Structure 1
Amino acid sequence: MAADGFLPTKHGFAFTNAWPQQPAVVVPTPFGELGLGNAAGGLCGGMVFAAMDYWLTGREPATARPPAGDPFYRFIVARLIDSWHVPAGVAQYYQWMSLPDGDNTMKVFGRQVIVERGLSWRTVRVQWPQIKRDLDRGLPVPLGVVTVASRNPKDLAFNHQVLAYAYETDGSRLTVRVYDPNRGRRDDTTIELDTSAPAKAIAFTHNLGLGARPVRGFFRVAYTPRKPD
């Protein structure tokens, strides 16, 4: 199933998520001030939200990377802040970073009891039904992609955001097609997983522009439209 008409080759920005190394904005979070928009974090959330904004309004996506201070650059930075949903959104990334991949269990009176649900179960059983519902309605879905296992708030910047626009299933095998600002106008960017045993750690396969970082899980990011400047 695919969202109505969105394709990275048509509706993604012609430039990739590569920006100056200094923070584009410093955001107050429950863990102190966090610099966003640096080489590690980029402006992926802002580009995802802006691409969705342009698509919804029927405007042609920009082809030239805006310089710092340009109104379009400021729009992307503003949408980056929106995409983090401070403080609740930052807290969700941090919680997911701190969780195990598979469920934590322990034996109580000889029975295996689930102590804590892992990212795999939360992705497949909680988040995917919500994402699928939006895609089936014809709406692309911003996804928060967790790539690190850490309790260090500074590592929040290593997580990522993409825009899901289509999916395919083959038995328990799920392929989610995404627009990844790190890869630009490519229709072949995907996240793949086997949904048959979500209580165990899932080995996600992907070709996102994350370098050597893995995908540990993903969740639906709440989105509110904003008219591009």
Structure 2
Amino acid sequence: MERLPAGARLASGDELRSGNGRVRLVLQSDGNLVLYRTDDGAALWASGTAARPVAYGIMQGDGNLVAYAGDGRPLWASGTHGHPGAEALLQDDGNLVVYDAAGRALWATHTVQWFGPRFVPGFRPSANAPLFGNGPWPMGTRLEMSVLGLPPIKLDATRMGLCGGMSFLTRDIFESGTPQLRERDPSALPRPVAQHILARLLDSFGGAPIVKRWLAVTRESDAALRKQTMSELPAVLGDIDAGTLCPVGVVMTESIKPWAVFENHVELVWGYERHGAVLTLHMYDCNRPGRDDVVIEVDTAVIRTNGTGNDEAPGTVRGFFRLPYRHQDPSPAYAGPVTAASGG
């Protein structure tokens, strides 16, 4: 049973289970109404009525979910009275919600778990992302900058990492439905292609607000950055639920030096799944071209990866945040026959 309709009861020892079996709501013998994650037995929510004489819980006809003592005293309630016909639903996402008769949410435990597995339909890095890695780029690839109206400065970009450009271009290609770029040697690309990736790198910085965000997250302590990362997850996973690739800024280093931001990374999230306390994000990492097995694992104590990681703590990253994205036509990436080659 995954729902409590009006008039239904839970006696001591009874439980509700979600349709997928990943969570269960139990009225324990100690009087506590507890929501558990099945995988690892973690308690996600409780009514706080342990050691109190709760005899049963009931979804009342007036819309209130109430835990009562044997003598009829209410010991806990959802506070949703005044909504006849409401019911409690234990959802597959791990949330216990009281809905009114019209389907409007009145109360919830706010315990969404993002179990998944969910993936952006039709996307795999090995089939859709460029098969070349993140440099070195063809001779003559240059970053041109102009400051305060002075003559432009041209910087050699052949050894620069263009991860933001690679991630944005990959989403551009996928959303446009254009062919995969199958050349495997980035230095063999026509220079206009590399210049287009460089331009998309600059786009990935998104102007002053995103530059400021990069500077801030690079300076943050591990604890503060982890808190920010957890707050970003609903938006990141919401993109995947909507079938949209999500670019994220992956924070590798901690430093107050402004240039340290270039030690960080950009990747694309294309799927997710949860097992117990571990939320696994499936990633396109341009430093691991052609691989579908790159992940970032968000655990209770650490964020691990088998992709690009922190040099000081191999196999980990410090955190990440969602990057805003604006689509661009990827046709400049198809300059010259070399990008259409199969690559073997």
Same fold judged by TM-score > 0.5? yes
Higher relative contact order (CA 8 A, sep 6+): 1
Amino acid at match of 2:322: R
- 1:190-209 Cα distance to aligned partner (Å, 9 max, x none): 000124xxxxxx42110113
Counterpart pick for 1:49 among 163, 168, 183: 168
Q: Could you say what secondary structure the match of 1:50 adopts?
A: helix
Indicate how the Cα distance of structure 1 residues 22 and 211 shifts in structure 2: closer, same or farther if over 3 A, else same. farther
Counterpart pick for 2:267 among 162, 174, 193: 162
Cα drift, residue 43 of structure 1: 0.6
Aligned length: 202
Counterpart pick for 1:132 among 237, 248, 267: 237
Structure 1 counterpart of 2:215: 94
Q: Could you say what secondary structure the match of 1:51 adopts?
A: helix
Indicate how the Cα distance of structure 1 residues 172 and 37 shifts in structure 2: closer, same or farther if over 3 A, else same. farther
Structure 1: runs of 5 or more not aligned:
103-117, 196-201
Cα drift, residue 82 of structure 1: 0.3
> Which whole-Å CA distance do the structure 2 matches of 1:28 and 1:156 have between them?
21
Structure 2: runs of 5 or more not aligned:
1-117, 148-152, 332-344
Structure 1 counterpart of 2:323: 221
> Which whole-Å CA distance do the structure 2 matches of 1:193 and 1:139 have between them?
20
Amino acid at match of 2:323: V
Indicate how the Cα distance of structure 1 residues 228 and 22 shifts in structure 2: closer, same or farther if over 3 A, else same. closer
Is the 2:141–2:195 Cα contact (8 Å) retained in structure 1? no
Q: Which has the higher helix share?
A: 1
Structure 2 counterpart of 1:7: 124
> Which whole-Å CA distance do the structure 2 matches of 1:98 and 1:135 have between them?
29
TM-score with structure 2 length normalisation? 0.54
> Which whole-Å CA distance do the structure 1 matches of 2:283 and 2:210 have between them?
21
Amino acid at match of 2:267: V
Cα drift, residue 225 of structure 1: 0.6
Structure 2 counterpart of 1:178: 283
Is the 1:67–1:73 Cα contact (8 Å) retained in structure 2? no
> Which whole-Å CA distance do the structure 1 matches of 2:126 and 2:326 have between them?
23
Identity %: 31
User: Cα RMSD (Å) of the superposition?
Assistant: 2.5
